[in-house]
Chains A and B, each alone.
Chain A
């Protein structure tokens, strides 16, 4: 068993590999973000008997780039009555947590380089899950700030909705995962993947089906996707918290939405589907699982109506939370008595 590469045994190699990993992950995530918008438009288009983008490039493949360029060159409007600093900060505050969450997600087993074992993961925090939950919690500040700083009533309503929604659903999501690490006995994502590394049946989706469903649903709510897209519910609040945003700042919100989708898919894959385990090379397995969840999210968006604010709260506090608690109790009983 080769020694784990760390800052103490080969600092140069460690740092350069670390940079390479960060860059690789970042590029992959950005690419997926760009093409997730394309895929979403194509898939929803097809489901709605339309074609989606077809004009820019072959099959419309250059559409995300065209969109990006367009947004980049749009006039950047900052409303006169807005609170400037907060207005500027908000889009970054929402995008950055989304991106840095990816840091703890393992995308493969260890590879041996120069006699050292290098984990395919940017960093393995021993409190990985807490870190993820914390970052998810940070993201909501961006939304609230955006809603408040715009000084527009629709934005404000969107911001408030989002705050309430994310807080209530984070609780349920957090409790749903507790059952997982009650089984794994560790908070490190690497550890959790290792705990599922036996056969397919070791994946926690089979031992924790309820937690899996709860987590998928609550995370849909956390990232404000249909049917829980209330903070931006375009038919009610025009565009919710990002009503007043334009140009690149709007693009950041847009990217954050998709980045969040990727993060949530990756977390779900890691916690319940064995992470990088599977028939192919580690990163490909993980990507396939991520794509599966993203497709699911898109599919759901094409199909379901939006729930109402009070119903959302009701479900969060009175359905999902008790279910998550129940799940913990059952898991606890099983762990202790069996």
Chain B
């Protein structure tokens, strides 16, 4: 298999990949605001009850919410790969986040016999999806998460700094990556990325032969093996809904209103040309949301507003060098940004364009019809004492 050079803007450089660069017209993408998630798992159940309720899928959770740092589904999915890949090295440069990744991606760290580096989880690692729920860890905010290395800055970005005792919730779905490892790994070419429409990555259920190379090489462990059909399945990005301009189930069900999903431009320079698209705006223009483990090299397309109370060193390992800017922007909110964030979960329709004026945030669909109008600052009404009849 030939090795091609493809551009990965998240790394600020080109990287090795087994296929030529093939960016979709529009890219399925989402922003998750970690700061607001309450781990109610409504998203998880919305997905489960739509797609993975049948025989052979008992262990499948295409959407899961895990407690970091210890939680993980499959167990220790990220720890195991981080250990294989080594420390996350970035040097200053001209990349999107002002840095260039100088370490190896999963494709570049591949042994000679494989297209990438990964591992096949054991059955038991899929069996406790919410293991270590709400389990905190304790670290000295003056030092790094391992209690030994001094941090340049005390604490995370949060007012009040990083917490000594901490955990946070990480919401995970398939990232519908620009350079999918699952697709690269499949010896049968049974995985494809929808290039003409939304960049959703799918496993052809007719061609899959259950080799599980996608399960092994996806760094996010989102393809899963169906024990009844003996072939692999993965998050389908709710494509039947997306095709009708409706957000995925996990998005529209979100109780904490932390999620917004839509279609964005694949490259930053194109996104900057279309800043009225809420995803382009949040990810590329304001850089408030950052990718999960960009160092793996797949250019994932779910972006996170990082949690404010976590050590920067930990966030840096997990979200790369974009965290400083993201936290700075999040803590210095202006009306426009607040307007876009207040559109989260006001409609289940995909917002293609937004406009902000007179304290109102307005969303439009693909045909530029207004689909939602919401006040940015809602009026506050204080109930006077005579109504305190329930206290």
Please determine whether chains A and B interact with each other in the same assembly: no
- Residue numbers of B with Cβ under 8 A of A are none
